[in-house]
Amino acid sequence: MKDELISEICIFYVEDEPMIREGFVRFLRRRTDNIHVFENGKLALDSFDELCPDLIITDIRMPVMDGLEMAYNIKKKNPNIPIIVTTGHNDEDLFLKSIDIGIDKYIKKPVNFSELIETIKKISSSIAHEKELEQQRNFLKEVMDLNPNLVITTNGIRCTYLNESFKQYLGVNDVEEYIAKYDNINNVLVHKEGMFYYGKLPREWIADTLSEHLENRVVVMKPKCDNEQEESTYLLNVKTVPGKDEWLLSFTDVTTLENEKQIYRMLSQQDPLTKIYNRKKFFEEVDKELERVNRYGQSLSILMFDVDHFKSVNDKHGHVVGDRVLIKLTEIVRKNIRKTDVFARYGGEEFALLMPGTDIKGAVEKAESIREAISSFTFEKCGVVTCSFGAAVYFKEDTVDSFVQKADIALYKAKDCGRNNVQIFDKGSFECTT
């Protein structure tokens, strides 16, 4: 009875002993017809490129070319092809050489056919799975090649895939030519001060983009192949490739007037200094979260915090240093919050953090961890900077304004309690908590 799984793969069987070869072939042909038989390694090697086997089963000691020499040459052609060695020799040197070559299975003669079939089935299953994955990858590649957007996959250092649109835009034929001409994605971008990727390595700005709450970021590109081609503006979208330490970057051309409106709309939600949400967008997000919480009954907390004695920083060191403090502080906070949290510059040196699915205990713990991260950092020019935090949890009777106001009241309570601490809104209680 044919085995459906084994029948799907092409098998090379290499054995010089006629009796062993004939018995083995009879046994295998009960399960598959897709088998090619050779009496020495050279014949099998000569047929390898034409027949493209999925699995090779071979004896070791044979005339003309032995099994290990054949396996060595085949592994040079295709390192991933599984090879099973059968031998009647109990030779440690042969065994070690098999390991060095990359032999997948070493079976002593006389062969236990049950063991062999189980091994072939496992290999067949693995090959079938890999072929299915390859078909999926090819299908996705075809889909991405039809995509008018510029698409690239990268590990942050090297490119692993370019779609046809990107190849045409850059004037390259394949990934190898892209790497030779550009090395990495940074050399495709136009670097201008103020751009989010300015002065950063690809892995850094890609990771920053993933941690942002904004869905898209604006990049400017210009290929090296055409000096006359103008710079183009794109919206960048970043996704993590499942199961790999890679990212898929998709660039949508937004140089048309209609899409520029979308960019300006997006930028209107962003604080120009820190690149996080502004106050207007924060209130929109609070309104959305309150709707969701009222529907599903989950916890929702808010933190309001600002920089202690920030006026003194500006007065002593100037507004440029003060701006750098706010930018660096924003980076510190980003590293300590979740993607689902909503982080915004509320105004001046005051910030707000909305935390869905978080009760007041969790909010205080998060506030303390952020407070400690900020106070333990040494800021350029001005040294240690601290922040005061107010925390509040949402109740059904709250409105957007009253919810935010509770955290604001708790923040002022933290100021009154000596700064650089976290206080909870507690109606009717103005005692400081530790």
Q: Domains in the chain, please, with CATH? A: 4-140 (3.40.50.2300), 147-267 (3.30.450.20), 279-424 (3.30.70.270)
Of 234-238, 275-279, 409-413, give the lowest mean pLDDT range.
234-238
More confident residue, 383 or 126: 383
The whole-number average pLDDT for the span 32-52 is 91
Per-residue pLDDT of 75-107, as tens digits, reads: 999 988 999 888 776 666 777 787 788 888 888
Of 130-139, 149-158, 281-290, give the lowest mean pLDDT range.
130-139
- 112, pLDDT greater than 70: yes
Q: What is the dihedral of CA 99, 103, 105, 106, to 10 degrees?
A: -60
Q: Report pLDDT for 240.
A: 87
Q: Report pLDDT for 32.
A: 83
Per-residue pLDDT of 155-197, as tens digits, reads: 888 888 899 889 988 889 998 999 888 888 999 898 988 888 8
- 357, pLDDT greater than 60: yes
What is the rounded average pLDDT for all residues in the chain? 87
The whole-number average pLDDT for the span 27-31 is 84
- 30, pLDDT greater than 80: yes
- 360, pLDDT greater than 70: yes
* CA 425 to chain centroid: 39
The whole-number average pLDDT for the span 3-18 is 84
Instruction: Pick the closest to residue 250 from 209, 201, 281 (CA basis).
Output: 209
Q: Report pLDDT for 143.
A: 72
Percent of the chain residues topping a pLDDT of 90:
42
- 270, pLDDT greater than 50: yes
Q: Report pLDDT for 192.
A: 85
Q: Report pLDDT for 12.
A: 92
- 62, pLDDT greater than 60: yes
Q: What are phi and psi of 426, to 5 degrees?
A: -135, 105
d(CA 249, CA 265): 22
Q: Report pLDDT for 264.
A: 73
Per-residue pLDDT of 290-316, as tens digits, reads: 999 999 889 999 999 999 999 999 999
pLDDT band at 213 (very low <50, low <70, confident <90, very high): low
Task: Walk across the sheet containing 159-162 and list its strands.
Answer: 159-162, 150-154, 247-253, 232-240, 217-221
d(CA 373, CA 367): 10
- 258, pLDDT greater than 50: no
The whole-number average pLDDT for the span 417-430 is 83
Cα–Cα distances in Å, from 71 out to 40, 100, 115? 12, 11, 21
